[in-house]
């Protein structure tokens, strides 16, 4: 896992710089900068809207006595998507938007659920259930 993370830390900035160069040659420097700023503003608005909707749904489920597990995974995807949109770059913006759009988020939720289940089964993640006083 650490190998992949280290590889991603070095590869992602390189790909983003290459993307900046290609897009700025295609549409110009100022339109490229404007596009990056616009995608950040759009992403922040979408993350806020989806995040508030997810919080409301989680509260509703808890009020009904249900555990909002799928809603919590939604919230994790929205948080990650919002974070990716804050990082300047086109690749991170694309992945961030995909995590914020409900229809495409479902695919990532399935992958994340499978990955978390595997970590829990292997004992790499311990789930603690505490009872309130």
- Decide if 25 contacts 39 (C-beta within 8 A): no
Ranges of each domain in the chain: 14-121
Q: Could you give the CA distance from residue 114 to residue 121 in angstroms, rounded to a whole number?
A: 11
Q: Could you give the CA distance from residue 32 to residue 17 in angstroms, rounded to a whole number?
A: 12
Work out the percent of the chain whose per-residue pLDDT is above 90. Answer: 11
Note the pLDDT tens digit of each residue in 24-46.
999 999 999 999 888 888 888 88
């Amino acid at each position: 896992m650490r190998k992949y993370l280290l590889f991603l830390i070095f590869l992602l900035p390189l790909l983003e710089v290459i993307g900046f160069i290609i897009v700025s040659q295609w549409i110009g420097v100022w339109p490229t900068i404007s596009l990056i700023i616009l995608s950040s503003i759009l992403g922040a608005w979408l993350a806020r809207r989806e995040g508030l909707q997810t919080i409301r749904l989680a509260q509703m489920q808890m009020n009904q006595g249900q555990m909002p597990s799928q809603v919590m995974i939604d919230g994790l995807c929205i948080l990650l998507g919002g974070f990716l949109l804050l990082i300047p770059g086109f690749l991170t913006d694309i992945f961030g938007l995909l995590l914020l759009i409900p229809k495409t988020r479902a695919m990532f939720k399935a992958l994340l659920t499978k990955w978390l289940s595997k970590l829990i089964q292997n004992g790499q993640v311990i789930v603690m259930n505490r009872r309130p006083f």
